[in-house]
Structure 1
Amino acid sequence: MTSKKDFPKSIESLCSTKTIKVYNNWMGWLSDQKGYSKNTICSYSYDFKYFLNFLSSHISSNNIEIVDFKDLKIRDFRSWLSYLKNNNPNLKARSLARSRASIKSFYFYCIL
């Protein structure tokens, strides 16, 4: 499990080049196509990095590929939500909802 002092790790230290490219394109899409504010985009980026840190330890990989996202099951997302709640006891329902929306948005972008 990742400790809070080195959390979240950079995307470059967790993902393949292709995954980083998809992430960067998604960030641009949120801004250019969806018209999200800079604050929302920063929050989505942080949520995604948090998810990657969880995923890295969950699947035991420091080179997360796009295909790894396709292989995730509902139980993996439930584990992530539990991880969020356990590591952030003061996490508000709105923040949890935004975290879910962030990852949902990434998946939606990937299927476009």
Structure 2
Amino acid sequence: MQLHAAIDEFVLYIEIEKNYSVNTVTSYEYDLRLFLTFLSDHGCSTVLNEITKTQVRRFIQYLLGSLKQKHRSVNRKISSLKSFAKYCLIERYLANDFTRGIESPKTDVKLPVYMTLTDLKQLFDYLERAQSRFSMRNERMFKLLATTGLRRSELVLLI
């Protein structure tokens, strides 16, 4: 089976049977078509059973190197390829999983950004001077968040 035909089948499957969101379906399709384009541009076979791990690794290298994509974007593309390969195995379009053993690059952990004491004082001054309908509520909520370390979701549960 040709890769483009299998991609079409997979997109229909996740759209209709799995009922994935429009954005998810669009993203998966984009990622898989990018892989198909990569294979075609580099003279590789687009027959599903002839795709190798080496080609997937070269694709990842291409994404990181030539396209300068972030690790998170590359991880999503790897996830799309893995889901696609799993589907192809279940449907028996594929004899061997070409994504088996492919690991995602490590992503940087984003640390939370905190307000400085000066910024916090400015916020409190503004909230204390505000004359809107909800100004007292807003002031109390922000002071509670800032002084107790309460999470936003925990505050919402209190209301």
Which runs of 4 or more aligned residues in structure 1 lie more than 4 Å from their structure 2 counterparts after TM superposition? none
Once the two structures are TM-superposed, the CA of residue 100 in structure 1 deviates from its matched residue by 0.3
* Residues 1:97 and 1:65: Cα distance change in structure 2 (over 3 Å): same
Once the two structures are TM-superposed, the CA of residue 23 in structure 1 deviates from its matched residue by 1.7
TM-score scaled by length of structure 1 = 0.68
Question: What is the aligned partner in structure 1 of residue 98 from structure 2?
Answer: none
Question: What is the aligned partner in structure 2 of residue 76 from structure 1?
Answer: 55
SS in 2 for 1:43: helix
Q: CA RMSD in A?
A: 2.0
Once the two structures are TM-superposed, the CA of residue 49 in structure 1 deviates from its matched residue by 1.2
Question: What is the aligned partner in structure 2 of residue 7 from structure 1?
Answer: none
Alignment of 1:25-44 (within 5 A): 25-44=9-28
Aligned equivalents of 1:24 and 1:98: distance in 2?
19
Question: What is the aligned partner in structure 2 of residue 87 from structure 1?
Answer: 66
Q: Work out which structure has the larger RCO, using CA pairs closer than 8 Å and 6 or more positions apart in sequence.
A: 1
Alignment of 1:11-50 (within 5 A): 18-50=2-34
Aligned equivalents of 1:19 and 1:49: distance in 2?
9
The residue identity in structure 2 corresponding to 1:96 is V
* Residues 1:77 and 1:98: Cα distance change in structure 2 (over 3 Å): same
Listed as ranges, the gaps of 5+ residues in structure 1 are 1-15
Listed as ranges, the gaps of 5+ residues in structure 2 are 91-159
Once the two structures are TM-superposed, the CA of residue 66 in structure 1 deviates from its matched residue by 2.0
Aligned equivalents of 2:39 and 2:4: distance in 1?
15
SS in 2 for 1:96: helix
Residue 72 of structure 2 corresponds to residue 97 of structure 1 = no
TM-score scaled by length of structure 2 = 0.50
Greater radius of gyration (CA): 2
Question: What is the aligned partner in structure 2 of residue 66 from structure 1?
Answer: 48
The percent of aligned pairs where both chains have the same amino acid is 32
1:45-92 per-position Cα deviation (integer Å, ceiling 9, x unaligned): 11111111211233x15x6222223xx13x322211110011222x22
Paired residues, what number?
Answer: 90
